[in-house]
Structures are given as structure tokens and as C-alpha cells.
């Protein structure tokens, strides 16, 4: 069963994600704040300006990855590897980024043509 379909992870369930992120050169902290956006991997909670938003565990991890390296451009393959642990070709990255935008009510990702996505900090 996909992690997106089950309840919130408990304890240090995000350890494999953190290891893959570190291998990709990103230091993802368990709690990160960027502008009005707060991401807590210990509780898998996200808030915007103090208002809690309901995201799936995978979406929380994706958001934490982008916040940890705000100027970095992430390719589809890199996101697959770090967030899912594989590089299978699919559109799941696009779908998850769209769902995160919708759930947060913020257009926080910018597409870098032929390269991938980066955080749009001015929207936070």
C-alpha cells in the first residue's frame, strides 16, 4: 500500500526519506519554516500563517525537500529518487505538486523549462 494512502507515519518514519535527501545533497531538518510556511516531519503537519493544512505524508516530504533547498532546481528523476526511492518514469511528481499547490492555496513551485521545479519563495 502506498504511503499516500495510509495514516500519519509515527516516530522517525521519515528516516529513509532523509537518507535519500542527504544522498542527493539536501539537508532536510525535521522542522522547517520558510516565510508563512511551516513543515514538521515529526508530526507530519504543515501550516500556512498558523493555519493547519491537511497533506499526505508524501506531500509533506516533498514540501520539506523544497524548503530545505529553496534555490535548487529539482528534476523529475531527482524527485522520484528522493521522495519515492525509485526513478520510474511517471507523472506522479506533477500530480503531487499540483495537489500541494491546491491544498496550500499557494502557487509555490515554479517550473524551470526542461530542468524541473524550484520553490517560488516570493509566494511564501
By C-alpha distance, which of 63, 61, 69, 107 is closest to 85? 61
Asked if residue 62 lies in contact with residue 68, where contact means CB atoms within 8 angstroms, the answer is no
**What is the rounded (10 degree) CA torsion for 71, 25, 102, 109?**
20
CATH number of the domain bearing residue 39: 1.10.10.10
Kindly state whether residue 1 falls inside one of the protein's structural domains.
no
**124 residues of the chain, pLDDT tens digit each:** 344 444 555 546 788 999 999 999 999 999 999 999 999 999 999 999 999 999 999 999 999 999 999 999 999 999 999 999 987 778 899 999 999 999 999 999 999 999 999 999 776 6
Kindly state whether residue 103 falls inside one of the protein's structural domains.
yes
pTM: 0.86
d(CA 18, CA 106) in angstroms, rounded, equals 25
Number of domains observed in the structure of the chain? 1
d(CA 5, CA 37) in angstroms, rounded, equals 24
Domain containing 33 equals 6-123
Amino acid at each position: 500500500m502506498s504511503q499516500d494512502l495510509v495514516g500519519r507515519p509515527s516516530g522517525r518514519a521519515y528516516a529513509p526519506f532523509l537518507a535519500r535527501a542527504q544522498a542527493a545533497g539536501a539537508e532536510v531538518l525535521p522542522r522547517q519554516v520558510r516565510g508563512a510556511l511551516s513543515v514538521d516531519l515529526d508530526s507530519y503537519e504543515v501550516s500556512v500563517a498558523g493555519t493547519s493544512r491537511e497533506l499526505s505524508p508524501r506531500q509533506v516530504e516533498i514540501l520539506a525537500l523544497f524548503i530545505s533547498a529553496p534555490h535548487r532546481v529539482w528534476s523529475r528523476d531527482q524527485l522520484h529518487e528522493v521522495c519515492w526511492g525509485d526513478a520510474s518514469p511517471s507523472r506522479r511528481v506533477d500530480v503531487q505538486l499540483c495537489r500541494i499547490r491546491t491544498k496550500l492555496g499557494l502557487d509555490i513551485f515554479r517550473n524551470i523549462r526542461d530542468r524541473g521545479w524550484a520553490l517560488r519563495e516570493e509566494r511564501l
